[in-house]
Amino acid sequence: MISNFQEIISDSAKGMKRSAIRELLKLAQDPNIISFAGGLPAPETFPVEKLFEVVKEVLEEQGTIALQYGATEGDNKLREQIAENYRNDGFDITKENVLITTASQQGLDLLGKVFINRGDKVFVGLPSYLGGLSAFNAYGADMVGIKFDEHGMRSDIIEEKLAELKAKNDMPKFIYVIPDFQNPAGVTIPDFRRKEILEIAKKYDILIVEDSPYKEIRFEGKDQTSLYALDNTGHVINLGTFSKIFVPGFRIGWVIAHPEIIDKFVMAKQGTDLCTSPFVQKISAKYIEKGYFGENLKKTIKIYKEKKEVMIKAFEEYMPEGVTWTNPEGGLFLFVTLPEYMNADKLFQKAIKKKIAFVKGSVFHCDGSGQNTMRINFSFSSKENNIEGVKRLAQVIRESMK
């Protein structure tokens, strides 16, 4: 190994941090540990039998094409299918507005690559998705945290901070929003708040990045309009993925944006991986074409609804007084708040000894706050383990209380 390794790595590499969630998942490999840590879909939702059929058809009908390099923009059929689905939700788009990515995490990385110079401001939620924070941090972003209320990111704070930064000529590159069943908080931003945020963004001529990997997993309540559909003027970039609504192993995601933005993303992606796997794109397109996607999504929603209800009931039954939690209308997560004097970071080691894992809430806060919070996943474990895991977690919390 060369002696000056630390001296020659880039500034971006020096700023990189390991994903706290990925590291926690290593600890949770013990089969005796009930893990609420990952954002893992339930394996029973994976359509293995249908995929056997679809893969066979793809290889028989277009094997040589599917196994070849593909266009950076993505498979035309899949792009059109995605565009049609979003048009049904009010998006004014064609396939030219769609770029297929290697999951939405690549979309987040491309955002940093295209927009962020070291020291640039980016608005994020307090809390916000760790994968987004990690991607922006790698490019040297100066992240500005926006506090939440029961309706998500507070629009009044967004406008207040934008006015301050405009006076200093230090405007942020974009506002990063997860509007549907937010990761980690589980909060959905209602239409009125979305309109407020959009109007503020237009007033200050700022991009909004709408990261919405869970929108289709709604099992109660009223669907809210996407920020992109409310806008349709090019002020919003929308990120989507099949990871939570189909299969994560395919690593298929997409970016929806103005064609001029898509063009820059295409060039950035070409320097990264040339193209997302044409094989899995064609499998996905064929699966959708055969009508299997909608059928499986209904099954997934039913499973997650039952798992969430079981977990919420267990929280109500076993958690000590002073602990609160969100009750999301969809998605994969709920967010737990402990009494202010408690520290979830310290609690984690005690929980592991009781064979229960969660994600410390502080990692979702760009300013290091949220020490008394934790994220809980309800989609991966069985209903029985969700109950048992909550019992163990409640015991750890109770024993740690003053």
pLDDT at 149: 95
- With contact defined as beta carbons under 8 Å apart, do 272 and 52 qualify? no
Are both 225 and 344 inside the same structural domain? no
In 3D, which of 86, 124, 131 has the Cα closest to residue 106?
131
pLDDT at 218: 97
pLDDT at 27: 59
Q: Residue 316: give its domain's CATH number.
A: 3.90.1150.10
Q: Note the Cα 361 to chain centre separation in Å.
A: 15
Return the CA Rg of the chain.
Answer: 21
In this structure, are strands 356-357 and 252-256 parallel, antiparallel, or unpaired?
unpaired
Q: For residue 173, what are the domain limits?
A: 68-291
Are both 247 and 310 inside the same structural domain? no
Q: Is residue 170 part of a domain?
A: yes
User: Which residues on adjacent β-strands are paired with residue 325?
Assistant: 336
Are both 275 and 140 inside the same structural domain? yes
Q: What is the pLDDT along the chain (402 residues), one digit of tens a residue?
A: 777 777 777 777 777 676 666 666 665 567 889 999 988 999 999 999 999 999 999 999 999 999 999 999 999 999 999 999 999 999 999 999 999 999 999 999 999 999 999 999 999 999 999 999 999 999 999 999 999 999 999 999 999 999 999 999 999 999 999 999 999 999 999 999 999 999 999 999 999 999 999 999 999 999 999 999 999 899 999 999 999 999 999 999 999 999 999 999 999 999 999 999 999 999 999 999 999 999 999 999 999 999 999 999 999 999 999 999 999 999 999 999 999 999 999 999 999 999 999 999 999 999 999 999 999 999 999 999 999 999 999 999 999 996
Q: Which of 291, 311, 342 is the last residue of a domain?
A: 291
Are both 333 and 272 inside the same structural domain? no
Are both 17 and 128 inside the same structural domain? no
Structure-token pair, residue 350? 């005690």
pLDDT at 22: 61
User: Which residues on adjacent β-strands are paired with residue 146?
Assistant: 125
Query: Cβ of 346: how many Cβ atoms within 10 Å?
Result: 11
Q: Is residue 284 part of a domain?
A: yes
Q: Which of 291, 318, 337 is the last residue of a domain?
A: 291
In 3D, which of 284, 282, 257 has the Cα closest to residue 268?
257
pLDDT at 29: 66
In 3D, which of 295, 310, 307, 177 has the Cα closest to residue 246?
295
How many domains does the chain divide into?
A: 2
Query: Cβ of 22: how many Cβ atoms within 10 Å?
Result: 13
